[in-house]
Structure 1
């Protein structure tokens, strides 16, 4: 018997935890602080977008196994914020045998969309969701907050990074990997016990790759005007020669690959390439759309003219 009915895989409803209430950058609190969020017109400090990525990992591992951790790419556009106490469920298409790309999405318990995404296996996976979104970007009319940035601008220097189990990840991420693992929605022995993994080393969870990649982001010294509050609007994490390991030294190089504008935001899209400690072997990449809120910059109207 044959049907054309599309089938999906989904995980259980989870309540992701907010761990960025004490986040600080450029001398002020972030949108994840309840008071700051309310000043900007939001109900409460939202949970950081990549927190939701963890809910997809068991689904994608069920489809692609070890290959997902070594060559997987998750490319997401964030649609609606989630605050602590709300429940979220992850979905992916059930792929045809041999397929290397699926559609993915997350919803709140009431069906409100949280994010849309593509999940794929490289290197021959074609355009991701964010490739498609970037291709549709229009030239910004006039940038104020980002007026000193340009496409092709590179970070000031190579940035050495690592993530040890009990290492506090700084003002941007005021917690350690072990503290995250106490609250992560989908835990695994692979994040703690090297003997449990195929690589005989514990691996960094997908959502914590974002933390590793942003840990030294201020060292890139991109000249974004301050004070300003931003949020993640789009994010893609790709394993090239993965996974990334706990306690391993890496080197990050950054480049601005797009600039864009909406009614409320100015955005700079940064591709962060994560190399081994020698700087010769590319291990992973992250593409991140930093959306800065125009009304959070006190001089916006004056400088916009």
Structure 2
């Protein structure tokens, strides 16, 4: 994770990094070259959530520990990168006179200026709606759904009263990396994992309401489907998940979207 920060007039930009594809060779995975190229991608892709990590040094510089208590990162993934391709995180600088509650435009870019993901980061309780939360969710008609025929809006996926986050914390158990926050809030269960189609992440929004998230502490973790939709090339589902402490306080919540390629599924190709 790069700590170098370049200060410019209107933005803060993190140092260039080269994420590695640690999922190369996974079966039926868009992260594998052979699978990805078969469905029209350039090669095995870096998961979108990896790029959330690039913002951690900028969030620390802007807001320090406060971001871990009441912060958010909200990204819509727009361009898939490959193993070792350079990227960096960029955040709009707070305007003069910005108060303690502020939301800023943010994105990850390539050296050519292509945006890998775009959205917002925030601290406190700003009036503005986070980027992903502001997107309209449109359910598809059931006749348009084949891959995700076992999903429906409001379907409860899990309710774990003694869920413990085991990985990703610092020596004090505090999770500081937004990618690891995603993993703590990951909504999937075996019953909704789609194995006959190739999936990839479309958007992720993590909101810390009474953070930080910590390892080794029991939470009640819940997740549900909030939208099942379709585009010409994909089917997709939106998920909401939460972590609550033993008192019922909302510690963190996430809205996440995954897409599945129609061309990769026998339900669309046969």
TM norm. shorter chain > 0.5 = yes
Describe the SS at the equivalent of 1:299: helix
Note if 1:103 corresponds to 2:81.
no
TM-score normalised to the size of structure 2? 0.86
Contact 1:274/1:283 (CA < 8 Å) preserved in 2? yes
What is the Cα-based RMSD across aligned positions, in Å? 2.3
Describe the SS at the equivalent of 1:245: coil
Question: For the residues of structure 1 that align with 2:123 and 2:17, how far apart are their CA atoms?
Answer: 26
The count of residues paired between Structure 1 and Structure 2 equals 258
Provide the residue aligned with 1:206 in structure 2.
Answer: 178
Unaligned regions of 5+ residues in structure 1, if any? 166-176, 178-190, 195-200
Provide the residue aligned with 1:217 in structure 2.
Answer: 188
Describe the SS at the equivalent of 1:38: helix
More strand as a share of residues:
2
Distance 1:79 1:271, change over 3 A: same
- Spell out the pairing of 1:42-191 with structure 2 (5 A cutoff): 42-96=41-95, 97-98=98-99, 99-133=101-135, 135=136, 137-141=137-141, 142-158=144-160, 160-165=162-167, 177=168, 191=169
Deviation at 1:159, TM superposition (A): 6.6
Provide the residue aligned with 1:286 in structure 2.
Answer: 254
Question: For the residues of structure 1 that align with 2:150 and 2:16, how far apart are their CA atoms?
Answer: 43
Contact 1:272/1:287 (CA < 8 Å) preserved in 2? yes
Describe the SS at the equivalent of 1:284: strand
Distance 1:163 1:242, change over 3 A: same
- Spell out the pairing of 1:184-263 with structure 2 (5 A cutoff): 191-194=169-172, 201-214=173-186, 217-219=188-190, 221-222=191-192, 226-263=195-232
Provide the residue aligned with 1:300 in structure 2.
Answer: 268
TM-score normalised to the size of structure 1? 0.77
Provide the residue aligned with 1:183 in structure 2.
Answer: none
More helix as a share of residues:
1
Contact 1:161/1:212 (CA < 8 Å) preserved in 2? no
